[in-house]
Amino acid sequence: MGYFDFVMSEVHGLRIKDLLDEKKAGRKVIGSYCVFVPEEIALAGNATMVGLCAGADFAMEEVEKILPRNTCALNKSTFGFKLGKVCPYLEASDMIVGENTCDGKKKAYESLGPLVSYIYVMDIPQMKSGQGRSLLKTEYQRFKQAVEKLTGVTIDAARLKQAIETVNNKLKAIHRLSKLRQAEPAAISGLDALLTNQVFFYDNPQRFTDSVNKICDELEKRVQKNDGVFPKGTPRVLMSGCPMAVPNWKLPWIVETSGAVLVGEESCVGERGTRNLVNASGKTVDELMDAIVDRYFQVDCAIFTPNPDRLSHVEEMVKAYKADGVIHYGLQFCAPYLMESIQVAKALEDKKIPTLRIETD
Ligand code: BJ8
């Protein structure tokens, strides 16, 4: 984990220098708050995409002058990082992409707009219907045009294919890591795995892929030797719910210092965001764009109604990771996930899978 600890220690240092060097060389930086913003399109337009921080409280007194107090912590944090001037990624971004996912985010972007140099808002469907898919495709085409305008690069099939392969390689490395987390005893702590999933959004894609594969090489040896970071028999917990953005490690830390181990995250900083690859076999821009839509349309965020796939995925993950129980992590005032948490808990408990719903900031 040395590399990831280093990345985190330099998250406001060397990585920012990287980005500024890229900008000097003419590359644009696109900041995003949601896994629905396709990195494949940004990379194909020769832009770098970074996840924007929303995992800690800053400048809350200032934030509450702009947003109602009972707004979810993630949205408030977005504003806190801006108003407290603590996010160099936000300041380095040439375009910030907002998305119409939950009501909180969609309205918050209206207020964020005047505070930043360029906010681009993407509409996101709310139902997994034919119309929903068409809307996502139209919006991804519009985003492609906006990226082309920003960077001056025309996205052709070759560029798109290359970008898809870069992101797929990143995803495949994460899949390899997830598979290794299924071992008993656990070969890696949930905190370390979460950090890796968080760095996914910040690091240079190629460097990230290589680093995850290196961890996996080491973990494979540990698994062969039955070498765990927690003793065999340690209760295994699956986390499900809202994303945990950097530097939010609160709940995993509590779990793992209380005699249990986190073996998986059903989260956008986790398997919900990384589960699917894009089919890179298309020959035309349209075929490849369709394949990108196919990947993202499967993301089962709680903003969708109904959202039965998420329930099935939680159950599948419990089996795959041999979890003894599930903790549903819901941010206060997050209507979509808190409402779904009741359905998730009921479905799991009907199957005798112990579930704890935690609502927190
Ligand atoms: S695809 S989960 S990253 S929207 S916690 S701001 S939902 S009120 S974060 Fe998300 Fe994209 Fe969905 Fe994933 Fe709103 Fe809830 Fe706040 Fe949330």
pLDDT at position 7: 85
Q: What is the pLDDT averaged over residues 233-249?
A: 95
Distance 335 CA to ligand 1 centre (A): 10
Contact 185, 130 (CB under 8 A): no
Distance 242 CA to ligand 1 centre (A): 6
Contact residues of ligand 1, CB 6 A cut-off: 34-36, 72, 74-75, 101-102, 104-105, 242-243, 268, 299, 301, 303, 331, 334, 336-337
Residues 278-318 pLDDT 10s: 999 999 999 999 999 999 999 999 999 999 999 999 999 99
Average pLDDT, the chain: 96
Pocket perturbation via mutation, ligand 1, pick of 32, 63, 74, 333 by most ligand atoms within 8 A of CB: 74
pLDDT at position 246: 86
pTM (2 d.p.): 0.96
Residues 112-123 pLDDT 10s: 999 999 999 999
Q: Which atom of ligand 1 is nearest to the CA of 33?
A: 3
Contact 111, 62 (CB under 8 A): no
Query: Residues with Cβ < 8 Å from 272, sequence gap 6 or more?
Result: 35, 266, 299, 300, 301, 310, 313
Residues 153-196 pLDDT 10s: 999 999 999 999 999 999 999 999 999 999 999 999 999 999 99
- When mean pLDDT is compared across 53-67, 133-147, 307-321, the lowest value belongs to 53-67
pLDDT at position 205: 96
Residues 328-360 pLDDT 10s: 999 999 999 999 999 999 999 999 999 999 999
pLDDT at position 132: 98
pLDDT at position 54: 81
Pocket perturbation via mutation, ligand 1, pick of 37, 301, 304 by most ligand atoms within 8 A of CB: 301
pLDDT band at 104 (very low <50, low <70, confident <90, very high): very high
Q: Which atom of ligand 1 is nearest to the CA of 268?
A: 13
pLDDT at position 22: 96
In this model, does residue 53 exceed pLDDT 80?
no
Determine if residue 259 is left, alpha or beta; phi over 0 gives left, psi from -120 to 50 gives alpha, anything else beta.
Answer: left
pLDDT band at 91 (very low <50, low <70, confident <90, very high): very high
pLDDT at position 8: 86
Q: Which atom of ligand 1 is nearest to the CA of 302?
A: 12
Nearest to 161 by CA among 291, 48, 43, 280: 280
Residues 144, 146, 151, 154, CA torsion sign? positive
Atom 10 of ligand 1 has which residue's CA nearest to it? 34
pLDDT at position 133: 98
pLDDT at position 283: 98
pLDDT at position 248: 92
pLDDT band at 55 (very low <50, low <70, confident <90, very high): confident
In this model, does residue 110 exceed pLDDT 90?
yes
Q: What percent of the chain has pLDDT over 90?
A: 93
CB atoms within 10 A of CB 105: 22
CB atoms within 10 A of CB 342: 12
Q: What is the pLDDT averaged over residues 70-80?
A: 95
